Every structure is written in structure tokens, then in C-alpha cells.
Structure 1
Amino acid sequence: MIRLFNPDTMAKPASRYSQCALAEGATQRLEIAGQIGVHPDGRLDEGLADQLAVALANVDRALAAAGMGRENLMKITVYLTENSPAAVATYRAVRDTWVGDAAPPVATLLVVAGLAAPALLVEVDAVAAA
């Protein structure tokens, strides 16, 4: 079972994510490589919101392939290529829609100079346990 929480002894998160994720009694750990906004058929969407939605859907696909779901997520790390308030707001809005009403996983957001190809705007990797 994954317990997501924010200790009272720490500052509140800057947005909707958990500070800690504890895998209690876990017997499986899944590390998901960086997922980009490429559909299973190889298409790459344009725009940050669309690429991020596809990257997160790819995380869902990886979880499902391991017999897991979002309830098993411990952490996501997101790499953006644009350092702007609009890009961060887009990331937060798409992430919050994806998380829905569930407890949000631990999250780290990084702004990087670039990814493996210039058309890539975002990459997401994840850790899950069951």
C-alpha cells in the first residue's frame, strides 16, 4: 500500500503534490523511464498541454502493463523545456486533471535546456510500488 502524505513538520507543497510517499509492505517496485508526448502509433502532438497529456497517458500504459494503476504511483519527475509562468501553470493544470480526486503523488518539476529532440517539450518519469 502506498501512503501519500505531507508531514506537519514541513512546509506545505507549492502546488498539488505530496511531500512523502511510503510503500508499506510493497513487494514490487516499478521504475518507468522518461515518457514523452508520443502516441503508441508514433505521432507527436504539438504544444505543451497535449504532449504532457500523452506523456501521462504513457505512464498509465506502463502502470497497466505491470498490473498497477495510479494508486501505485509514488513519484513523478517532470522535465519541461520552457521556463515560464505559463508553462508551469499548464503543467500544474494538466497534472491536476490527470490526478483527479486521488491523493497526488510526490512530484518534482525541473526546467531543462532541452530533451533528446527539439520538438519534445516535456518528459515524465515515474516510480510505483505494489
Structure 2
Amino acid sequence: MMIPLAPATIAAPFARYSHGVEVPAGWRLAVCSGQLGMASDGTVPESPREQADCCFANIAAILAEAQMTLTDIVRINAYVTDRAHMQGYMDSRDAHVGTPPPASTLMIVSGFTRPEFKVEIEVIAAAP
């Protein structure tokens, strides 16, 4: 299991994420490219939460190829196109990641390849 790193000398995280995580020696890593909020049939849901759920579904499928699950995620980089989309993304993240939560960064960006995309998520996962 990954080991959360939480130094007492810095402020606690703003949300449900770890400041850092340690991956035990000898574990395998899987690195996922950024996944956009698009379903397997090519549709793009309207809400940021539904888009984030699609991102995590795509990530789950990629990790399954490496015999891993969403609970093996140790690092998330997430991008949203507006502050108003942050809560939908965070609700999805909190519903999909394990405990302890992974290290995580959330950035607000000006846009993606198509204007209907509001969320993109990339991850690193680790497992024995």
C-alpha cells in the first residue's frame, strides 16, 4: 500500500488528497495520458461531474490492462476550464479514488481541443 506523506510542518491539504505518497520499492507503475470527459460512444456529457466520471471510467479501463484499479492511483493531475467546474471534478475524484487519497494537483486552464470538454485527468498508478 502507498504511504501518505503528511509533514506536521506544513498546512493540511485543502481537500481529500495527500501532500505526497511513497511507493514501496519493487512496485510496478502505470502512467495514463490525460483522459477527456468523453464516453466510449463518443458522447460528451454536459456537466463537469459527468465528464470527470467518464475520465475515471476511461482511466479504470486503462489501468485494468495493467491489472490495476482506481484504488492503485498514487498521483493525479487534473485540469478544468473554469473554477465553477472544480466541485464537480472533486466530487468525482473523491468517489473514485482509494484511501489514503493520492497526491493530486488541480489546475484551471483556458481550454482543450474541443470547446465542450471541461475536464481532463491524467494519473500514475502503482501496484505490487
Q: How many residues align?
A: 127
Give the alignment partner of residue 88 of structure 2, picking from 86, 90, 96: 90
Written as runs of structure 1 = structure 2, the 5 A alignment for 1:1-130 is 1-84=1-84, 87-99=85-97, 102-130=99-127
User: For residue 111 of structure 1, what is the amino acid of its counterpart?
Assistant: I
Percent pairwise identity: 32
Q: Which runs of 4+ in 1 moved over 4 A?
A: none
Q: Which amino acid aligns with 1:10?
A: I
TM-score (norm 1): 0.88
> Gaps spanning 5+ residues in structure 2: where?
none
The question of whether the paired residues in 1 share the 8 Å contact of 2:3 and 2:22 is answered with: yes
Deviations 1:7-33 (A, max 9, x none): 222210011100111111234221100
Taking the aligned partners of 1:56 and 1:9, their CA distance within structure 2 comes to 33
In structure 2, relative to structure 1, the CA distance for the partners of 1:41 and 1:26 (3 Å cut) is farther
Q: Which amino acid aligns with 1:49?
A: R
CA RMSD of aligned residues (A): 1.5
- Asked if 2 retains the 8 angstrom alpha-carbon contact of 1:26 and 1:129, the reply is no
C-alpha distance in structure 2 between counterparts of 1:13 and 1:106, whole Å = 10
Q: Aligned with 2:92: secondary structure?
A: helix
Please say if residues 115 and 121 of structure 1, whose CA atoms lie closer than 8 Å, have aligned partners that are also in contact: yes
TM-score in terms of structure 2 length: 0.89
**Gaps spanning 5+ residues in structure 1: where?**
none
Once residues 105 and 121 of structure 1 are traced to their aligned partners in structure 2, the CA distance between those partners, rounded to angstroms, is 22
Render the CA deviation track for 1:70-114: whole Å, top value 9, x for unaligned.
Answer: 232110111000123xx22222222212236x2111110000000
